Amino acid sequence: MTESTFDALGVAEPILRALKAEDYVTPTPIQLQAIPTLLDGRDMLGIAQTGTGKTAAFTVPILQRLSVGHEAPRSREVKGLILAPTRELAIQISESVSTYGQFLGIRHTVIVGGVNQNPQVKALSKGVDVLIATPGRLLDLANQGHVVLDNTQTLVLDEADRMLDMGFIHDIRKIISKLPEERQSLLFSATMPPEIAKLAGKILKDPARVEITPKVVTVDRILQQVFFAEGPEKKDLLVRIMDDPSVEKVIIFTRTKHRANRVAQILDRAGHPALAIHGNKSQNARQKALGAFKDGSIHALVATDIAARGIDVDEVTHVINFELPNEPESYVHRIGRTARAGADGVALSLCDATEVPYLNDIEKLIKKQLEVVYGEKPAAQKKPARNSRRPNPRRPQAKSGKGPSKPAKGKTQGHRPNGDKGKSNNRPNKSNQKRRRRPKRAA
């Protein structure tokens, strides 16, 4: 590849200035492939996940094309439309549009559900160059006549697989039916299930295909360990892991919203201020939690998979899977929250006997075994070993005098959850990270 600067890719001066202000020196692989092709006006099928630089890969060329011979949009008109599955991702993309387009004089807005529609209706009434939206609210406003899509020149579907998971596929089809036939269309997805391939076949015309699979790279940079523990023992372990001073900024994942609330409560009580973020939380509560996590006023965020999708917070030192995801791809997405922007990271998974099949699927996908640092792998529940002397996963493990909270002997090569103040080797590479002070718990 000879082109290795944004300038060489054909990016215009006002955007180059904005990228420079962000310290983007070298385009990422997806940017190298996507930017010139999209500037040429081609459709694109992108197989990539967050963390690859894909937002800039599609935002920069869209902004540039819209800025050439720019005419102010008419009332309720949308020139470029970016659809995202979650509010968080939509807001994040909108922030990227603000950043990259800051010297272009382009108007954009973001519309998401869960908040009052009036300010959104007002913003749309003037027309926008770029609209970033979640599908449900957009369709709602379009049906009310607050937005007109028949002059939209560009469509981006970001994280299409997640949109499918979240049941947005019908809304998306309805939105697409309102767009003009003649347009540039882009579809990005981390995975390509048949339904997404079908959708891509319908909406894209002769698309350029870019595929960036950072999985191996990402996974390789992250220290991945597993703790085998049942029921209440998981909570003890979690608190003890959190007591380790190297755990500076952590996202803890659960499978359910209820469990996310519970874990945040447990941490709070143990002196680790934490907030939960999930689909039942109001938009304001989610933004507040994310803001507090970003600015360091809390160092633990508890999240479900969907709420966490697309969260881009720098310097996350640890990801803890309090519960393993039932889709192995989600494990890769989860742990990708750490080890961003060239930093190393640590991913710790707490696994009980019911989750062993999930663990097996994960290890198959990432083609490596997680390092066991605590407990022993129980037999998967489906096929219990005959005459097995393994513990009953439904009951807490028999306590060997000192209780469950002591890690198994000889198994503490990696993380030391028992508050060891010595040098812990689970610490990510700090060479380019600022050390943050742990916030004091409010009295």
Contacts to ligand AMP by CB under 6 A: 24, 26-28, 31, 50-56, 312
Least separation in angstroms between residue 414's CB and ligand AMP is 27
The residue among 364, 360, 330 whose CA lies nearest residue 347 is: 330
Least separation in angstroms between residue 436's CB and ligand AMP is 18
| Cα distances (angstroms) measured from residue 228 to each of 246, 352, 387, 389, 396 | 21, 6, 20, 16, 12
Q: How far apart are CA 97 and CA 91, in angstroms?
A: 10
Q: How far apart are CA 81 and CA 71, in angstroms?
A: 17
Q: How far apart are CA 382 and CA 225, in angstroms?
A: 24
Helix 169-177, helix 194-203: angle, nearest 10: 0
Least separation in angstroms between residue 55's CB and ligand AMP is 3
Least separation in angstroms between residue 308's CB and ligand AMP is 13
Least separation in angstroms between residue 324's CB and ligand AMP is 24
Q: Which is nearer to ligand AMP, 436 or 441 (CB)?
A: 436
Q: Which is nearer to ligand AMP, 60 or 149 (CB)?
A: 60
Q: Which is nearer to ligand AMP, 103 or 384 (CB)?
A: 103
Cβ distance 412 to 236 under 8 Å?
no
Sign, CA torsion 73/76/77/82:
positive
Least separation in angstroms between residue 252's CB and ligand AMP is 21
Q: Which is nearer to ligand AMP, 16 or 208 (CB)?
A: 16
Write b or e for each residue in 210-225: b if 16 or more Cβ atoms lie within 10 A of its Cβ, otherwise e: bebebbeebbebbbbb
Q: Which is nearer to ligand AMP, 21 or 72 (CB)?
A: 21
Q: Bridge partners of 152? A: none
How many helices (DSSP H) and strands (DSSP E) are in the chain?
16, 14
Q: Which is nearer to ligand AMP, 72 or 216 (CB)?
A: 216
